[in-house]
Structure formats: C-alpha cells, structure tokens
C-alpha cells in the first residue's frame, strides 16, 4: 500500500517516521483493560528495562477471546500471545528477542480490509502512515469528486449500519444541493446490545475514520461534520479526539498537507444512552438539543436534516470501510460482533463474497456448529437463524449492523424472546402510540403466547406499520421469527 504515494503523502511519511521494530504491542483499550492488560504493559516494560520504549500500548485487535493479549511485531511477521499470565510474558520477551518458536505466523486478517491496522498500531501518526494510513485519501484527491463518486458506485459500496443503502446514491443527493450548507453526521452511537464494532474502530484505528470523513467531504463538500459517539464509549472518544488533534497538527485535516483547503469543521458529541438514540433522526434531535425522539419522515435528512440543512448520516463503519474502496479487488467485508456460546467471541471482519456461511463464521469462532441451536442476528430488532439454516450464504442485508449472538443447546429460546420484548418495551421512547403501547402489550401477550397467537400477529402488524421509527417498526421481528422458527418452545 506504500507504493504510488504522491509527493505530499511521501512528505508526511518523512515527517512522521515509522516506529522501530521489533516491538511489543499490548492490547489494552476498553476490552483489554477489562481483562487487566495494563498490568502486562507495566510488567513487560519493567522486564525490558532500557528497551522499555519498545513496549507500546495498543487497543484491542478485535480478538476479545484472546484478552489479555500482546502482539510481537518483528520485521516481516507478527505473533500474538493470547490469554497472558505472568508466567507467559517470558515467551513474549523471547519472541521480542528473536525466538518466536514454531508459531511465528500471525493469524490475523493481514494487511487488507478495514481491520488491517486495528489494534496493531500505537496510535501515532507515523505508525498509521507506515501501515497505509491516508493513502486512500491521497488516491481520492487525484480524481475529481465526480470520479470518486463513480468509483464508489462501481464498487457497489453500501452502508454498513444495517439498511445497506448505496453510499454513492446517498452522497449524490447531498452533493447536488449546492445552495445550502451540507452536514455530515457520523453515527457511532452503537446502542444495540451485542454490537461493539464502532468502539473497536475508534479505539483501534481512529485515523481510518478521519480518513473516511475526509474522503466523504472531498466527494460531497460538507460545511460541518458531527461525530456522535456512544456516551459510555469514553475511551473511544478520547482516543478519537487525540487522533483528530494529530491529524490537525500534521495539516492533514485542513488539507494543507496536500496544498488544498478542505475547510471542514468537525464536532465530536457524546450520547447519553438509549437504544433509540442510534436512530438517525433521533441523533439529529439530540445534536440540536431537542428531546431525543424520532422525527416524522418526510422530510428526509438529505433534504432537511441537521439544523434544517441537507444532511448525510453514515455509520462509522461505513466511513471506515470507504477507505478500502481502492483496494483491488474491493473486498466486500462486514464487521461481525460475535458473542454468546462460542469459544472465541470477538470482532470478525468477514468476506461477504457469496461463499461465507453461518457455519464458516461459527467454525472461525472455534465452535462445532452442531453445538449451536440458533443464532440471533440484530439483537432486539433481529431474527433467529436456526441450525438447519447455517449453510445459507451470508449477504450484507441479512447481517444488519453485524450483531450476532450464538445460543448453545441448553438455552431457552422462548426466554430470550421474552427478554428481547422486555428490552424493546423499556427502550421505547414513548413518542408514538403503536410502539409505546404495543411493546408493553407484547410483553403481556408473551406470558401466554399459545392462547394469543392471533392477537400477537395483529400487534406485530401494528408495530411494523404504525411506528414512527425502526425501534417500534422492528420490535415485532424477533417475536415473529421466534413464532415461525420454534413455535413449540412457547
């Protein structure tokens, strides 16, 4: 990825040199710290004495099952040491000193896709640039905005937040409106239980999101960008803001590094909880200081969005993924947040290439698919996929926002269904009657579902057709799915 850099990018790389190797990356961040990773950071620094500079703090690389973990980066290879204990740091140090044993090959995604650098950089600009950071922006700047939009369209690029709307089509809607200031809202609210991809992206490779924002800005021409981050993701916000400051200091954000004037103002905002806050129009209200409830549509955000201006709302993953659009062939991948009854839960970037099935995902996560009775895709708005459907080929559309929970054979799926119904009831914002009353009624009906089949079917229809936003609109989905897939469980 370092080839064909323009003179400005080459200059940036000179100004921000790559880190020295070998080095030890200790995977901290929210996930690593929850498993005590900072202790190993300290122990390794003490053990290496005057070479302690080579032990650096990195974020999670997505392999949560391996935490606490450290990766040794030697010249041409890496090796991850998993589930560290104090005894195990001797092996880490031996590998740092050149003896990595037989398992020297790093089993990561390796150099491509949007997780290529995830957790495998120390957060400095030099490290990110050395690993291909800002080369997609560099490439984009050699084309006109129209050519860039064509390239995104030709790659068949769709949004990664769940709806999978074509990105180029959405961007063109705003780009066409040249008389009013255009707004970009980056949705990193990620309030869906079971989804943790945006936190990983912001903590583990924040410059990729900045690069994606600048590519979007070059294509559309925004006045302002708002990055709306989940209120609990404080570490992610802090790391992102640091990266933003570095990008500004290096004149990347202003465009001056490329002798351009981007003129984009960026604001970082935190949410304060609530599943409904991931809904696009709720985010707009929240940013404006209104009550966080959905808006009626139309007007759509591309016409009258933030502060009444044409607004593009993209998921953080979408903008990170856009940086891979020039990779040949463009890898259609999706981040999957996998949890539940599997030996290796964590964040996976999986190819959506017409060959990947649920079985392949489960095998990747170290489980025998026969031990899994069902998976839930999309949390409280999602559907159940039963064991006999595991051979189905994965499509972007079937993956939603990428939250997948696996249930072993002992799980009571009817109980899970009731929990999902209760969750939707608690999280309903109360703005519209179908959702406010409907989700409450659903919980009551699910006490004795066999006696209320017809009422439940009617209620699902009311929720789906009558709700103001997708929280209510999709609240009936897991119930319908449960009744279709395992009616005898109730």
Residue range at the interface with other proteins (CB under 8 A); choices 62-70, 125-133, 157-165, 457-465: 62-70
Question: For residues 353-412, which are near other proteins according to CB under 8 A?
Answer: 376, 379, 405, 407, 411
210 sits near other proteins (criterion: CB under 8 A): no
HEC letters along 188-254? ECCCCCCCCHHHHHHHHCHHHHHHHHHHHHHHHCCCEEEEEECCCCHHHHHHHHHHHHHHHHCCCCC
345 sits near other proteins (criterion: CB under 8 A): yes
CA distance 368 to 116: 27
Question: For residues 232-291, which are near other proteins according to CB under 8 A?
Answer: 232-233, 269-274, 277, 286-291
Among 78, 167, 347, 463, binds other proteins (CB under 8 A): 347
CA distance 306 to 181: 10
Give the Cα-Cα-Cα angle 199, 394, 120 (nearest 5 degrees). 35
Question: For residues 133-192, which are near other proteins according to CB under 8 A?
Answer: 190
Torsion angle defined by CA atoms of residues 230, 395, 66 and 374, in that order, rounded to the nearest 10 degrees: 100
477 sits near other proteins (criterion: CB under 8 A): no
Instruction: Let me know how long the chain is.
Output: 490
CB of 193 to other proteins, least distance (A): 4
Please identify, using beta-carbon distances, which residue of 2 and 267 lies nearer to other proteins: 267
Among 114, 201, 416, 425, binds other proteins (CB under 8 A): 416
Residue range at the interface with other proteins (CB under 8 A); choices 131-139, 173-181, 193-201, 309-317: 193-201
Among 7, 10, 21, 34, binds other proteins (CB under 8 A): 34
HEC letters along 383-396? EEEEHHHCCCECCH
Among 5, 24, 26, 31, binds other proteins (CB under 8 A): 31
3-state DSSP assignment of residue 366:
coil
Give, as one character, the DSSP assignment of residue 279.
S
CA distance 16 to 130: 9
Burial class (CB within 10 angstroms; exposed 0-12, middle 13-18, buried 19+) of 436: middle
The enclosing H or E element of 10 equals: helix 7-15
Please identify, using beta-carbon distances, which residue of 132 and 369 lies nearer to other proteins: 369
CB of 214 to other proteins, least distance (A): 24
CA distance 405 to 423: 16
**x-or-dash pattern for other proteins, window 82-121, by CB under 8 A?**
----------------------------------------
CA distance 73 to 60: 15
CB of 68 to other proteins, least distance (A): 10
CA distance 240 to 180: 29
Count of residues interacting with other proteins (CB under 8 A): 52
Closest by CA to 357, choosing from 389, 394, 383, is 394
Burial class (CB within 10 angstroms; exposed 0-12, middle 13-18, buried 19+) of 181: middle
Please identify, using beta-carbon distances, which residue of 41 and 416 lies nearer to other proteins: 416
Please identify, using beta-carbon distances, which residue of 130 and 338 lies nearer to other proteins: 338
Residue range at the interface with other proteins (CB under 8 A); choices 59-67, 147-155, 320-328, 447-455: 59-67
341 sits near other proteins (criterion: CB under 8 A): yes
230 sits near other proteins (criterion: CB under 8 A): yes
CB of 112 to other proteins, least distance (A): 23
195 sits near other proteins (criterion: CB under 8 A): yes
481 sits near other proteins (criterion: CB under 8 A): no
293 sits near other proteins (criterion: CB under 8 A): yes
473 sits near other proteins (criterion: CB under 8 A): no
Residue range at the interface with other proteins (CB under 8 A); choices 6-14, 317-325, 327-335, 419-427: 419-427
Residue for token pair 């880190």 = 19
How many angstroms separate the Cα of 405 from the Cα of each of 339, 384, 477? Answer: 5, 9, 16
CB of 423 to other proteins, least distance (A): 8
CA distance 358 to 406: 10
Enumerate binding residues for other proteins (CB under 8 A). 30-31, 33-35, 64-65, 67, 190, 193-196, 199, 230-233, 269-274, 277, 286-293, 307, 337-341, 345-347, 376, 379, 405, 407, 411, 416, 419-420, 427, 429
């Amino acid at each position: 990825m370092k080839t064909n850099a323009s003179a400005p990018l080459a200059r940036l790389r000179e100004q921000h040199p790559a880190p020295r190797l070998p080095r030890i990356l200790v995977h901290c961040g929210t996930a690593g710290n929850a498993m005590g990773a900072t202790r190993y950071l300290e122990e390794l620094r003490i053990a290496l004495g005057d070479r302690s500079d080579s032990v650096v703090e990195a974020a999670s690389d997505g392999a949560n099952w391996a935490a606490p973990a450290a990766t040794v980066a030697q010249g041409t290879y890496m090796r991850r040491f998993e589930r560290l204990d104090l005894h195990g740091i001797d092996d880490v140090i031996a590998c740092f000193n050149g003896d990595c044993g037989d398992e020297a090959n790093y089993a990561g995604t390796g150099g491509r896709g949007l997780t290529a650098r995830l957790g495998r950089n120390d957060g400095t600009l030099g490290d990110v640039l050395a690993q291909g950071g800002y080369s997609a922006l560099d490439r984009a700047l050699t084309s006109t905005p129209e050519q860039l939009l064509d390239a995104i369209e030709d790659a068949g690029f769709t949004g990664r937040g769940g709806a999978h709307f074509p990105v180029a089509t959405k961007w063109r809607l705003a780009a066409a409106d040249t008389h009013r200031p255009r707004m970009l809202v980056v949705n990193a609210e990620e309030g869906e239980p079971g989804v943790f991809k945006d936190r990983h992206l912001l903590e583990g490779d924040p410059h990729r999101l900045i690069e994606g924002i600048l590519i979007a800005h070059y294509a559309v021409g925004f006045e302002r960008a708002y990055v709306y981050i989940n209120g609990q993701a404080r570490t992610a916000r802090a790391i992102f803001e640091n990266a933003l400051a570095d990008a500004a200091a290096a004149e990347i954000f202003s465009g001056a590094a490329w002798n351009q004037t981007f003129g984009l103002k960026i604001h970082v905002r935190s949410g304060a909880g609530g599943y409904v806050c991931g809904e696009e129009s709720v985010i707009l209200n929240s940013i404006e200081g209104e009550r966080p409830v959905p808006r009626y549509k139309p007007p759509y955000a591309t016409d009258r969005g933030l502060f009444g201006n044409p607004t593009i709302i993209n998921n953080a993953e979408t903008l990170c993924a856009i940086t891979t659009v020039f990779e040949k062939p463009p890898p259609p991948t999706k981040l999957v947040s996998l949890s539940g009854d599997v030996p290796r839960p964590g964040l996976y970037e999986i190819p959506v290439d017409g060959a990947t099935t649920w079985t392949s995902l489960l095998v990747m996560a170290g489980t025998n698919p026969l031990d899994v009775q069902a998976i839930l895709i999309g949390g409280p708005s999602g559907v159940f996929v039963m064991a006999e459907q595991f051979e189905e080929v994965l499509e972007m559309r079937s993956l939603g926002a990428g939250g997948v929970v696996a249930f072993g054979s002992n799980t009571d799926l009817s109980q899970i269904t009731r929990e999902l119904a209760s969750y939707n009831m608690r999280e309903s914002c109360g703005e519209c009657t179908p959702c406010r009353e409907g989700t409450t009624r659903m919980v009551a009906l699910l006490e004795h579902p066999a006696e209320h089949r017809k009422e439940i079917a009617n209620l699902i229809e009311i929720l789906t057709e009558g709700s103001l936003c997708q929280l209510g609109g999709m609240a009936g989905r897991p119930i319908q799915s449960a009744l279709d897939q395992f009616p005898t469980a109730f």
